[in-house]
Structure 1
Amino acid sequence: MPLSPHAPCPCGRTTAQGLPVAYADCCARFVEHFDTAPAPDAEHLMRSRYSAFVTENAPYLLATWHPSQRPATLDFEAGAKWLGLQVKAFHPTGAATAEVEFVARFRVGGRAVRLHERSRFVHEDGRWFYVDGDQF
């Protein structure tokens, strides 16, 4: 499901004035240009992966999943409506590793779902990859 480049980015990033950042100026530069524009850090990758879930962009999600943990296929929750993302913490854990703690909210079948996870990322060959995470 495509998103207008001028729409507010699903990841919820705002300017210093509190205004929503446009998708084209935020996550789209990574999601739509994976081959030429890798996310600069684990937080940007996590935010862009959230936006890819919102837009159901399976190729980007699979490409940014570390090969050691990548599923063969990816199915989306039918009828899911993504409601927001809150990044709670982001910190490097080593020279080429980092963790991002976040809460993502969505609704499916009239039921509210809250996904609270501490995700692990690794930097290899000039790119960040999602490895796995612990849910709370």
Structure 2
Amino acid sequence: GGRQLTLVMSDVGSNGDKPDWTVLSDCRTHSTAYSEGRTPVAGQLAFPIRRLTYRFSNNQLLMKGGAAADQVLVDNVGAFDVSFGLASTATDLAASRYSSNPPDPALIRSVRLSLTLTDPSRRVSDQTFNVVAALRNRLP
């Protein structure tokens, strides 16, 4: 078993692999999501959308995109934690506490990732790295 984080994001540029979905839009009145890739017609833009899954298992941080197999990103991982900054109410802008299992997605304001790296030979101390990302442009 292990912990997992799945992100759905728009890709920038056209250098990535085949997207999981493509949104075609005229950016004014009409948008449609399609499975896999799609080429826009005149007056449309294409937004490739990808789903990436990060998973912690057997002291490794793994990443999987689309139908590809898991790829090892980092070895010697002692811990990988995902927690969410939660507002007190749905109208509050700031996070007031963190939770690994938020009761209401409408309260989520940020995501905190924590990664602890270990030396199997114990020559150096464990090192923990943290990053927090605020969520913007949330969908209703």
TM-score (norm 1): 0.31
Flag the structure with more relative contact order, 1 or 2, with Cα contacts below 8 A and sequence separation at least 6: 1
Q: Higher helix fraction: Structure 1 or Structure 2?
A: 1
| Larger strand fraction of residues | 2
Which structure is larger by alpha-carbon Rg, 1 or 2?
A: 2
TM-score in terms of structure 2 length: 0.30
